Amino acid sequence: MAAPPDSPARPPAPPPRTTHGLVAVAVPSARVTRPVFGRHGFAEGALVTDWPAIVGAAIAHHALPVRIRFPAGERSGGTLIVKVASGAFALEMQHLEPLIVQRINGYFGWNAVARLRLIQGPLPERPRPAAPPPPPPLPDDSPAVEMLSLVEDPDLRAALTRLGGHIAARNRSK
């Protein structure tokens, strides 16, 4: 509705700010991911982002959720399409299907998925975890250096040297 001609025009009101202070990253990220994941049937991106937590690291390493297809007009009892890395793992997934469906539905708290449909194909490359930093060196004046020279097994000596370096570094930081 337009303002009457004799009243001054008011500037538009700024949009209301609904968040004050610190906000969890998951809150605004849902607004960003919903349009992208929604095109693939994922109402929330949680199934994709929390896939390793839902099905376990071993399964998540060889399988990736692609899309959920629900029956017309329904938002439950859907078919989850999962891409698996190999035919051998697809067979394993068939045997684990009841457990996987139960875990997914338990995670969401409702019967979102009724069955799995498996497709085989390459999975995207996952970044490799960074190598752990080298252990701190064992101080030369430590009495452990002389005792470690008596250990004959080189693997055991290396492990004990690393342990001693970590203990010495922890004691130095206190």
Least confident of 74-88, 121-135, 153-167: 121-135
Instruction: Dump pLDDT digits (tens) for 66-95.
Output: 988 888 888 888 999 999 999 899 999 999
Domain spans, the chain: 26-120, 143-173
**160 vs 24, more confident:** 160
Over 80: is that where the pLDDT of 101 sits? yes
> CA 82, CA 15: separation in Å to the nearest integer?
41
Over 80: is that where the pLDDT of 133 sits? no
- Long-range CB pairs of 101-104 (<8 Å, 24+ gap) are 103/54, 103/55, 104/47, 104/54, 104/55, 104/80
Q: Which two tokens stand for residue 117?
A: 């449909």
Over 90: is that where the pLDDT of 124 sits? no
User: Per DSSP, what are the bridge partners of residue 9?
Assistant: none
Cα 16 from chain centroid (whole Å):
32
What is the pLDDT, as a whole number, of residue 40?
A: 46
What is the pLDDT, as a whole number, of residue 44?
A: 54
What is the pLDDT, as a whole number, of residue 27?
A: 47
Architecture of domain 26-120 in CATH?
Answer: 2-Layer Sandwich (3.30)
Q: Which pTM does this prediction carry?
A: 0.52
Over 50: is that where the pLDDT of 100 sits? yes
Over 70: is that where the pLDDT of 122 sits? yes
Instruction: Dump pLDDT digits (tens) for 31-56.
Output: 555 555 545 445 556 788 888 999 99
Q: Residue range 23-37: average pLDDT? A: 52
Determine contact, residues 103/69, Cβ cutoff 8 Å.
Answer: no
SS3 category, 25: coil
The mean predicted confidence, pLDDT, of the chain is 78
What is the pLDDT, as a whole number, of residue 16?
A: 60
Over 50: is that where the pLDDT of 163 sits? yes
